[in-house]
Amino acid sequence: MELRDISRLLYQIKLADQRVATSFEKETGFSLTRYEMLMIVHDKGVCSQSEIQQAMKIDNAAITRHLKILEEKGYVRRERNTANHREVFVHLTDEAKHDLTSCEQDHDRSKHLITKVLSESEINQLSSLLQKLNQL
C-alpha cells in the first residue's frame, strides 16, 4: 500500500463526506451535525453539553455554538443545573419534536439518496468499516 493510494482513499472519504452532508441538508432542511445533535438530546431527554460532546465526539466549542443557534431557532432550551452550576442542561422544545417527526415522515415517503446507490447490505458493510476507522 503506497502512500499515494492511501491519500487517494482518504481523499475519497473526504469527498463522500462533503457530498453526503450537503445532500442530507438539502433533503431534510437540517444540517447533519445539528440533526444528529437534536436526536441525541431527544434520546437522552435532558443532558449536559459534555454528554453531547462525548456522544458526538466533536469539540466542545462547536457544541456551544450549535446549541446557541438551535436555541435561537427555538429548538432547544438551556438552563444551568441548579445542583451544579457548572453544567448546562439541554432539552428539546415541543416545536423541535414536532418539526423532527414531520421531517421523518416526509423522509419516509421519498427515500434518501443514499439508498439509491447502496443496497441494504452495502450500507451495513460501510457502517462496519467506518466503525473500524473510527477506532483509530
> In angstroms, what is the minimal distance from the CB of 109 to DNA?
25
Number of residues that bind DNA (CB under 7 A): 29
Q: Which stretch binds its own copies (CB under 8 A): 27-35, 46-54, 70-78, 81-89?
A: 27-35
| DSSP-derived secondary structure for the chain | --HHHHHHHHHHHHHHHHHHHHHHHHHHSS-HHHHHHHHHHHHHSEEEHHHHHHHH-S-HHHHHHHHHHHHHTTSEEEEE-TT-TT-EEEEE-HHHHHHHHHHHHHHHHS--THHHHS-HHHHHHHHHHHHHHTT-
Nearest CB to its own copies, comparing residues 81 and 124 = 124
| Contact footprint for its own copies (CB under 8 A) | 1-4, 6-17, 19-21, 23-24, 28, 32-33, 35-36, 39, 56-57, 103-104, 107-108, 111-115, 117-118, 120, 122-123, 125-127, 129-136
